[in-house]
Amino acid sequence: MSRTLDHLLDRNVAWAHHKTSEDPDFFRRMAEQQTPRYLWVGCSDSRVTANDVLGLDPGEVFVHRNIANVVHSSDMNVLSVLEFAVEYLKVQHVIICGHYGCSGIRRALADERGAMLDHWLQPISMLYRKHRSVFDAIPTEEARLDRMCEINIEMQVRRVAATPIVENAWARGQPLHLHGWIYALHDGLLRDLGPHLSSLEERDTLPSIDHRVLHPAEPVSALRRHALDAFAAPPSCCTPTTA
């Protein structure tokens, strides 16, 4: 087997030619200073890439990824990314996005214990063990895993909201909105899970993560939201008209 990756370099050439044939100014725009509106904090899973999932070009979303999209208050990596995005890039939205079937969450729920990986996943493992009886009542292993994937997102949104970086942005009146989303590999759709936070007041009135374990939120895809909106709208024949 070759020690070089010439096939990937060849794919890069083909990709660059394809982009310029479609849009001659593409790389000129990319060379300019990035001005993304979004910070994506996601999982390192190779199947979940922010730009592809969102349908955005490079330069439109700033990205941080790690195992199970965890936000540790002592992790200089994620904190540096968050600070740069909020204070220098002035992003308006921070999206915490996990995905169903996450291998990192599966590991956090396992009895096997190791060193670095399990240290990283410890907050998830501790929450799971604290509410083990609740999760054990869920009928299947996959359903338990998916529920924990959802709860983990809500926990990480709360952790981002508790950082001085976000607190300071809100205190100085900077528009900044936090979102909790989950991605489904089986259909390619993002689902809105929440919470959505735009101020200290909203953060401080959130129910605890322990409450959310007992009262889970229902993730809603854009397709379902549009269907619900259409169903709730009165039919055109019944819409009152003005004289």
Q: How far apart are CA 78 and CA 41, in angstroms?
A: 8
Report, as residue numbers or ranges, the catalytic residues.
43, 45, 47, 99, 102
Q: Which two tokens stand for residue 82?
A: 């968050």
Helix (H, G, I), strand (E, B) or coil at 239: coil
pLDDT at 165: 98
Q: What does the pLDDT profile of the chain (243 residues) look like in tens digits?
A: 578 899 999 999 999 999 999 999 888 888 876 789 999 999 999 999 999 999 998 889 999 999 999 999 999 999 999 999 999 999 999 999 999 999 999 999 998 888 789 999 999 999 999 999 999 999 999 999 999 999 999 999 999 999 999 999 999 999 999 999 999 999 999 999 999 999 999 999 999 999 999 999 889 888 877 776 776 766 666 655 554
Residue 139 main-chain phi, psi, to 5 deg: -60, -40
CATH 3.40.1110.10 fits 33-238, yes or no: no
* Residue 234, pLDDT score: 67
Phi/psi at 5 (5° precision):
-120, 50
- pLDDT of 115 reads 78
* pLDDT at site 32: 79
CA-CA-CA-CA torsion sign (146, 210, 86, 105): negative
DSSP state of 87: I
Element (H, E) at 198: none
Q: Residue 75: CB partners within 8 Å, gap ≥ 6? A: 66
Cis amide linkage into residue 195, ω under 30° from 0: yes
Question: What are all long-range contacts of 47-54, with beta carbons under 8 Å and residues at least 24 apart?
Answer: 47/99, 47/185, 48/97, 48/99, 48/183, 48/185, 50/97, 53/97, 53/183, 53/188, 53/190
Can you tell me the distance from the alpha carbon of 110 to that of 135, in angstroms, rounded to the nearest whole number?
13
Q: What are phi and psi of 46, to 5 degrees?
A: -70, -15
pTM: 0.89
Instruction: State the Cα angle at 215 between 128 and 207, rounded to 5°.
Output: 90
pLDDT of residue 233: 64
